Amino acid sequence: MHKELKQLSQNLTRLIGRTIALAFLFVVLVVGTRDVLAQEFPQHDLRVETIAENLDVPWAIAFAPDGRIFVTERTGALQVIEDDSLQNAPVLKLDVGGAEGGLLGLTLDPNFEENHYLYLYYTYSEFLSTYNRVSRFTESNNSVSDELVLIDKIPGAAIHDGGRIKFSPDGKLYITTGDAANMLLAQNLDSLAGKILRINPDGTIPHDNPFADSPVYSYGHRNPQGLDWEPTSGILVATEHGPSGDKGFARDEINIISAGKNYGWPEITGDEEDPKYVSPIFHTGDVAWAPSGAAFYDGNRIPDLKGKFLVANLRGVHLHAFEIDTTQGKILSEQSLFSGTFGRLRDVHINDGYIYLLTSNQDGRGSPRQNDDRILKVMPLNQGLQKETQEETCSAGLELVIKASNGNPACVKPATKLKLIERGWARN
């Protein structure tokens, strides 16, 4: 009897042990899988999904009107995501130089649907020198050709290569350049280093630039890597890496950029003031955030972030949201999102009211997680849950089409919609 009881007790213990192990496995499998696919942030009413992974230091992202997503990898490849999947073959593979330089900025022509022009900023080596250039390519069927160099011999180095390119609302191409590890160049108006440049889309110099026959728009910058225009005022705001590497204090900056102004590097930093220079409207003091890409949130899907200036931070491992009074140059409020969750963030981009983030944990300064680097899509918390039933809506000025091949919805310009339907790519 005792023996049977002992046996029964042993069996029960084993059964409980297995049940616990199975339950644990279930939690690991289910929660683990969920962790890769989507993460919820109830405190912000947000949900984050991974839309591409195993990228190699993604640096900039651009959305074509036909639904394709282009992304640069710093190591030299331009990749494309089509039908929700990262294509095997890169659009372009460039031989790049410059350690922390490489294939950096990317933007599409505002009239991409007509001309298929795609712009890239990249670092290259020539003999013993390192330079950066901005080139225009023509895209066709996920490949590019006909490189036209728009601006060349921007001083480059292993660090401080700038690299963000963006079209302004008035159709000029803006380019951020770093001081190429030579701080004196930032104050030299004859050098393209440590500047924000402004050119026409064909590489010529706009007649209304602040310095005659010069692409220089503003100067005295150390290493700006993010910029965007406030949608309501049209005011340009830029992020800039402060001198944690040169001077031992961080002082990463947010600047309001005006034509022809001098932003002080390396003469003043932080709260220092001098009538010759423009001081930042915000700096990070002793803490290095290493701010990179930035974008004003102009969508409607996430009302809490409406109008806010979002900044992707590398060393700060978070997304920062600033409410800025741009005409007064004052920060009204600020908040930190996703702190530490995704690691280093290189860029933030808004498309159709969603926020896209690029992680940068493979860049040699981070701790890569499983499936890094990734492209993340930030959406309202309830969006994913209601995906099946919720009717798709598009932002103002865009219309909904259904892709013929897979039934997926897409938001496009009305003129594009007609063309896509004509080509049989989409149906109503």
The least CB distance from residue 280 to Ca ion, in Å, is 5
In order of 147, 162, 349, 369, 374, the CA distances from 62 in angstroms are 18, 18, 8, 24, 15
By CB under 5 A, name the one of 264, 291, 293, 316 that touches Ca ion. 264
- Are 367 and 340 in contact, with CB atoms under 8 Å apart? no
- Part of the chain binding Ca ion (CB under 5 A), chosen from 2-10, 194-202, 260-268, 408-416: 260-268
Q: Is 224 in the site for Ca ion (CB under 5 A)?
A: no
Task: Give the binding-site size for Ca ion (rule: CB under 5 A).
Answer: 2
The least CB distance from residue 250 to Ca ion, in Å, is 13
Q: Is 243 in the site for Ca ion (CB under 5 A)?
A: no
> Rounded CA gap, 99 and 74, in Å?
9
Q: Closer CB to Ca ion, residue 138 or residue 279?
A: 279
The least CB distance from residue 168 to Ca ion, in Å, is 21
Q: Closer CB to Ca ion, residue 290 or residue 337?
A: 290
Q: Is 105 in the site for Ca ion (CB under 5 A)?
A: no
Q: Closer CB to Ca ion, residue 267 or residue 352?
A: 267
> Rounded CA gap, 365 and 382, in Å?
35
The least CB distance from residue 295 to Ca ion, in Å, is 21
- Three-state SS string over the chain comes to CHHHHHHHHHHHHHHHHHHHHHHHHHHHHHHHHHHHHEEEECCCCEEEEEEECCCCCEEEEEECCCCCEEEEECCCEEEEEECCEECCCCCEECCCCCCCCCEEEEEECCCHHHHCEEEEEEEEEECCEEEEEEEEEEEECCEEEEEEEEEEEEECCCCCCCCCEEECCCCCEEEECCCCCCHHHHHCCCCCCCEEEEECCCCCCCCCCCCCCCCEEEECCCCEEEEEECCCCCCEEEEECCCCCCCCCCCCEEEEECCCCECCCCCCCCCCCCCCCCCCCEECCCCCCCEEEEEECCCCCCHHHCCCEEEEECCCCCEEEEEEECCCCEEEEEEEECCCCCCCEEEEEEECCEEEEEECCCCCCCCCCCCCCCEEEEEEHHHHHCCCCCCCCCCCCCEEEEECCCCCEEEECHHHHHHHHHCCCEEC
Q: Closer CB to Ca ion, residue 322 or residue 342?
A: 322
Q: Is 63 in the site for Ca ion (CB under 5 A)?
A: no
> Rounded CA gap, 213 and 143, in Å?
34
- Part of the chain binding Ca ion (CB under 5 A), chosen from 129-137, 168-176, 261-269, 347-355: 261-269
Q: Closer CB to Ca ion, residue 263 or residue 322?
A: 263
The least CB distance from residue 273 to Ca ion, in Å, is 11
Q: Closer CB to Ca ion, residue 229 or residue 263?
A: 263
Q: Closer CB to Ca ion, residue 239 or residue 362?
A: 239
Binding letters toward Ca ion, positions 345-384, x by CB under 5 A: ----------------------------------------
The least CB distance from residue 262 to Ca ion, in Å, is 9
- Part of the chain binding Ca ion (CB under 5 A), chosen from 138-146, 177-185, 256-264, 329-337: 256-264
The least CB distance from residue 241 to Ca ion, in Å, is 11
By CB under 5 A, name the one of 263, 282, 289, 296 that touches Ca ion. 263
Q: Closer CB to Ca ion, residue 282 or residue 338?
A: 282
Q: Closer CB to Ca ion, residue 282 or residue 356?
A: 282
CA nearest to 50, candidates 401, 374, 410, 389:
374
Q: Closer CB to Ca ion, residue 98 or residue 264?
A: 264
Q: Closer CB to Ca ion, residue 263 or residue 297?
A: 263
The least CB distance from residue 164 to Ca ion, in Å, is 17
The least CB distance from residue 423 to Ca ion, in Å, is 49
- Part of the chain binding Ca ion (CB under 5 A), chosen from 33-41, 258-266, 306-314, 353-361: 258-266
Q: Is 219 in the site for Ca ion (CB under 5 A)?
A: no
The least CB distance from residue 272 to Ca ion, in Å, is 9
The least CB distance from residue 186 to Ca ion, in Å, is 9
* Radius of gyration from C-alpha coordinates of the chain: 24
Q: Can you give the binding site for Ca ion, defined by CB under 5 A?
A: 263-264
